[in-house]
Amino acid sequence: MRLRPPLPAKHLSLLCLSLLLGCSGKTTPTQTSPSASPSSNAAAQVVGALADQIDSLRDQLQRAREERENQQGSPSASPGTNPGSTAPSTSPGSSASPSPSGSASPNPVATPLPGPVDHPCRNTGTDTDKDGLSDSCENQLAESFAPVIYHSSQESHFPTTVDKFLPQSILMFQDTECKYKQRILTGATQTQLIAQQISASCESKLPVLANSTRSKDKKRSFYFENPSTEAQAGSKDAQDWLTYVHIYPNNLNGATVQYWRFYAYDDSEDHGGDFEGVHIVLDSQFKPVRAGLLVDNALKYTAWSELDTEGSEKARVRLFSEPGSHKLHLKGDSVKADGCKGISGFFSCRVNVDKPETFIRQETWKDGQVSWFNGETATSAGLLNVGERSAPMNGQVFIQYTGLWGLNGEWGPAYNGIGMLTNGFLTAWAAGMVNPKREDAFPLTVSP
Ligand SMILES: [Ca+2]
Ligand SMILES: [Ca+2]
Ligand SMILES: [Ca+2]
């Protein structure tokens, strides 16, 4: 923490006002007004500096809470104590705009994290997505903790990739206030998708940009028409069973690794474009502490010691995917299946790791195996690092798309509403992120 000289008494009242207002922003309109007097500018600078210090103290307090929780082995975090509840580093009302992908600026060098000396996260290699972790660190963490997915033998809507989904999809815009719908584009590429914009609709003259405007109530938004019945099935080719990953430094001095699965259709809620995610939280030694699932509108954590894991290092958590909805569970007995031998009654059959006829087992990592209930095997598509929203990696600019992924659908990983805080912090994408930037962890503009 930076030390500052004692505060002049005349500024104490400004500090109190700032505290009452929440100190979430660093400037106020009067502070940036050209007509402000020199004395008010000086006062504004002091208040801004104090707001910085308060933000820093809040971060430290949050980190201390996290560390205490880890020491106590507490597995759960309520939405109110979510590690992602850190205040934004830039206020939501400021004029920052999303950084375009493929920025011409050179890739920075990573900041080494504390931890085992020979770990890749100690190196200072290329940091393409500019989050402080080197590319090699991110790759190793993603591969090391990639989960095992058990798909139900009842599944009929299989995984696919965004790049296979888009050519089969129609991008639309709607303003439900006046029942307005417009066909925008068929078979968009990722780059075309995020470049779309609507200048006005119905009574509103406010533009909607596909890479920055998130519709709060899904009233005024881009969305995808539901895919055709054929496209809804996804792909039975395991080479299309890609798992997207998002990795960032967390407030444990470690890293959080998110794995995002994509399906063309969710038949439980009748919407196209279905994302499901899991967070693996690693401590400063890059050991897994807990896993978080996005369920029931919250990110719910379970301590690592309570999870079913596989592999010699017990680093691979077992996740069980509900047929049709693809909702992830930690236990197979929560997921109905076909194929149980010796059990009467359709509804009594559940996914059971000791009964291969009840599931399709997918190792999500590079060259992982996919084993079908009928004995067939194939090689999984592996992982793809999407980078940060302000600097996507591997061409995956779809993470900047702020529209919906289907009629009645939800947002993609980086704008997902699960656990979203009142200040707009996107928990599903940035829980525990260190000093989250507005362009990485908050909606940039909001429409109804
Ligand atoms: Ca990085
Ligand atoms: Ca990253
Ligand atoms: Ca779903």
- State the pLDDT at residue 60: 53
Residue 414 CA to ligand 2 center (angstroms) comes to 12
Beta bridge partner(s), residue 170: 186
Cα(192) to ligand 1 centroid in Å equals 25
Which pLDDT does position 346 carry in this prediction?
Answer: 55
**pLDDT tens digits for range 317-327:** 999 999 999 99
Q: Is 143 exposed, middle or buried (0-12, 13-18, 19+ CB in 10 A)?
A: middle
Answer with the residue of higher pLDDT: 24 or 185. 185
Which three-class secondary structure string do you get for the chain? CCCCCCCCHHHHHHHHHHHHCCCCCCCCHHHHCCCCCHHHHHHHHHHHHHHHHHHHHHHHHHHHHHHHHHHHCCCCCCHHHCCCCCCCCCCCCCCCCCCCCCCCCCCCECCCCCCCCCCHHHCCCECCCCCCCCHHHHHHHHHHCCCEEEEECCCCCCECCHHHHHHHCEEEEEEHHHCEEEEEEECCCHHHHHHCEECCECCECCCEECCCEEECCCCEEEEECCCCHHHHCCCCCHHHCCEEEEEEEECCCCEEEEEEEEEEEECCCCEEEEEEEEEEEECCCCCEEEEEEEECCEEEEEEHHHCCEECCCCCEEEEEECCCCCCEECCHHHCECCCCCCCCCHHHCECCCCCHHHEEEEECCCCCEEECCCCCEEECCCEEECEECCEECCCCHHHHCCCECCCCCCECHHHCCCCCCCCCCCHHHHCCECCCCHHHHCCCEEEC
Give the pLDDT confidence of 369-393 residue by residue, as tens digits: 999 999 999 999 999 999 999 999 9
Task: Please tell me the distance between residue 271's alpha carbon and the centre of ligand 1 in angstroms.
Answer: 33
Identify the band that residue 13 occupies on the pLDDT scale cut at 50, 70 and 90: very low
Of the listed ranges 46-55, 77-86, 304-313, the least confidently predicted one is 77-86
Q: Which of 100, 118, 115 is nearest to 191 (CA)?
A: 100
Q: How far is the CA of 391 from the centre of ligand 2 (A)?
A: 9
Work out whether strand 243-249 and strand 316-321 pair parallel, antiparallel, or are unpaired: unpaired
- Residues that place a CB less than 5 A from ion ligand 2: 129, 131, 247-248
At 359, list the tokens.
């599931």
Ligand nearest the Cα of residue 408 is 3
pLDDT at 119 over 60: yes
pLDDT > 90: what percent of the chain? Answer: 66
**Which residues on neighbouring strands pair with residue 309, listed in sequence order?**
317
Res 4 pLDDT > 50:
no
From the CA of 250, how far away is ligand 2's center (Å)? 11
Q: Is the dihedral of CA 333, 338, 339, 340 positive or negative?
A: positive
Is pTM beyond 0.85 here?
no
Which one of the ligands is nearest to 133 CA?
1
Measuring CA to CA, how many Å separate 81 from each of 51, 92, 364, 372? Answer: 21, 21, 31, 41
The predicted structure's pLDDT at residue 195: 98
The ligand that comes nearest to the alpha carbon of residue 440 is 2
Range 167-176 average pLDDT: 96
At residue 16, does pLDDT exceed 70? no
Q: Determine the distance separating the centroid of ligand 3 and the alpha carbon of 122, expressed in angstroms.
A: 37
130: CA distance to ligand 2 center in Å? 7
Mean per-residue pLDDT, 158-168: 97
CA of 128 to the centre of ligand 1 (A): 6
Least trusted range by pLDDT, from 57-61, 76-80, 250-254: 76-80
**Is residue 18 scored above 70 in pLDDT?**
no
**pLDDT score of 181:** 95
Of the listed ranges 117-131, 142-156, 185-199, 279-293, the least confidently predicted one is 117-131
Q: Which ligand has the shortest distance to the CA of 260? A: 3
For residue 127, the ligand closest to its alpha carbon is 1
Mean pLDDT within 5-30? 36
Please name which of 303, 302, 365, 366 lies closest in space to residue 329, comparing C-alpha atoms: 302
Q: Partners of 276 in the beta sheet?
A: 261
b/e burial code for range 115-130 (CB count within 10 A of at least 16 → b) = beeebbbbbebebbbb
pLDDT in tens, 421-431: 999 999 999 99
Ligand nearest to the CA of 327: 3
| 400 CA from centroid of ligand 2 (Å) | 14
Instruction: Give the model confidence (pLDDT) of 140-155 as tens digits.
Output: 999 999 999 999 999 9
Ligand 1 centroid–CA 130 distance in Å is 5
pLDDT given for residue 77 in this prediction: 35
Q: Which ligand is nearest to the CA of 386?
A: 2
Q: With CA atoms as reference, report the closest residue to 160 among 225, 230, 211.
A: 230
Q: How many CA atoms, within 13 angstroms, populate the side-chain half-sphere of residue 198?
A: 27
Q: What is the pLDDT of the chain when averaged over all its residues?
A: 81
Q: Is the pLDDT of residue 248 over 60?
A: yes
Cα 239 to middle of ligand 1, angstroms: 26
pLDDT at residue 280 greater than cutoff 60: yes
Q: What pLDDT digit, counting tens, does each position of 179-221 carry?
A: 999 999 999 999 999 999 999 888 888 999 999 999 999 999 9
Q: Name which of 63-67, 112-116, 148-152, 311-315 the model is least confident about.
A: 63-67
CA 149 to ligand 3 center in whole angstroms? 15
* Residue 184 and residue 172 in contact, taking contact as beta carbons nearer than 8 Å: yes
Q: How far apart are CA 425 and CA 411, in angstroms?
A: 14
- State the ligand closest to the CA atom of 111: 1
Q: In angstroms, what is the span from residue 274 Cα to ligand 3's centroid?
A: 5
How far is 210 from 292, CA to CA, in rounded Å?
A: 29
pLDDT band of 114, cuts 50, 70, 90: low
Starting from the CA of residue 328, give the closest ligand. 3
Rounded to the nearest angstrom, the distance between the alpha carbon of 387 and the centre of ligand 2 is 5
Instruction: Give the pLDDT score at 52.
Output: 52
Ligand nearest to the CA of 136: 1
Closest by alpha carbon to 381, among 242, 244, 236, 259?
A: 242
CA–CA gap between residue 162 and residue 406 (Å, rounded) = 13
Q: What's the rounded mean pLDDT across residues 263-277?
A: 94
For residue 325, how far is its CA from the centre of ligand 3 (angstroms)?
4
Question: Residue 316 C-alpha to ligand 3 middle, in angstroms?
Answer: 22
